[in-house]
Amino acid sequence: MIFDLPGRFWRGNLHTHSNLSDGYLSPGETAAVYHEAGYDFVAITDHFRPEYGYPVTDTRDLRTADFTTLIGAELHAPRTEAGQQWHIVAAGLPLDFAPPSPSEDGPALARRARSVGAFVGMAHPSASLLTAKDAESLDAAHSIEVYNALADREHRGDSWHLTDVLLNRGHRLTTYAADDAHLQPQDPPPCQAWVQVRAESLDPDALLTALKAGHFYSTTGPELYDVHLETDELVVRCSPATKILLTGGHPGAEVAQGTNLTEHTFPLTLFQATHCRITVEAADGTRAWTNPIHLDG
């Protein structure tokens, strides 16, 4: 499990916009918001669209000894079943990543991003009304954006249902949470959802390698200190919680409820599924999620 890996956890946001597309603040001001909030890194993922000049925002000059950036974009191309353009987060793009060709659809664009080294995420599936057919066609995705703080404003922030459908069909995807921050005055406040990435250093390449390997968990507040398998049990240690849940590949759940829960052991013999995950919920309603834990090897 990731909690035993070398290194430490680094806090970051993978989906962020600046005024080089439809965000409110400059890239430098946007990065400063996250740095001042105690983040270790941010990916500024401006909309890769013709009206903005297809930006891959160069944030290299914003890197310091204690804060770094991942260079990326939110990619768009035709067309989902709902008739919308795709929204695809790509972190780790080269600065000269070429605009889509007229014949390039979303899945092909995602494959090209992955082929040049990007971590590819399926952005806000619930808000985009993605179907399972849509999602399965995006075969280059490493991960699904299971919680999007901006989309939560319209009650479409949570995409776990589609994620579990895909996992039950055998797709090995990880899951991440993000702000989708535009920092417009009318928007929700930033720093509401993030990833904790386990890596040996804050080097961008180390972070990208860890993201692609699934060495992270996601949260809107609570901390996970340890999650590990012991024969037929799953042991969880976390910051104080009112609920710890074991859910995943079947409709049932195992739930521990109380006050200031910091540890619980779940028997897996009752959990007949190919995968599971842990959700921790704090008294204020914030949550943390592990990546899917595969029980079939």
- Strand 174-178 and strand 254-267: the pairing is unpaired
Q: 158: which strand partners?
A: 147
Q: Which amino acid appears at position 245 of this protein?
A: L
Which stretches of the chain score pLDDT less than 50?
Answer: none
Q: Which amino acid appears at position 253 of this protein?
A: A
- Only one residue has tokens 């860890």, namely 210
Q: Give the span between the Cα atoms of 47 and 73, in whole angstroms.
A: 6
Phi-psi group of 275: left, alpha or beta (phi > 0 → left; psi -120 to 50 → alpha; rest → beta): beta
Q: Quote the pLDDT of residue 270.
A: 74
Q: What angle do CA 270, 165, 74 make, to 5 degrees?
A: 130
Q: Quote the pLDDT of residue 268.
A: 85
Q: Quote the pLDDT of residue 297.
A: 62
Q: Quote the pLDDT of residue 248.
A: 85
- Where do the structural domains in the chain lie, given as residue ranges? 2-219, 224-294
Q: How many CA atoms lie within 13 A of 204 on its CB side?
A: 20
Cis peptide before 79 (omega within 30 of 0): yes
Domain at 224-294, CATH class: mainly beta
Asked whether the whole model's pTM tops 0.85, one would answer yes
With beta carbons less than 8 A apart as the criterion, state whether 213 and 16 touch. no
Beta carbons within 8 Å of 250's beta carbon, 6+ residues apart: 271, 272, 273
**CATH classification of 2-219, choosing from 3.40.50.720, 3.20.20.140, 1.20.1250.20, 3.30.1450.10?**
3.20.20.140
Q: Quote the pLDDT of residue 159.
A: 97
- Strand 287-289 and strand 275-281: the pairing is antiparallel
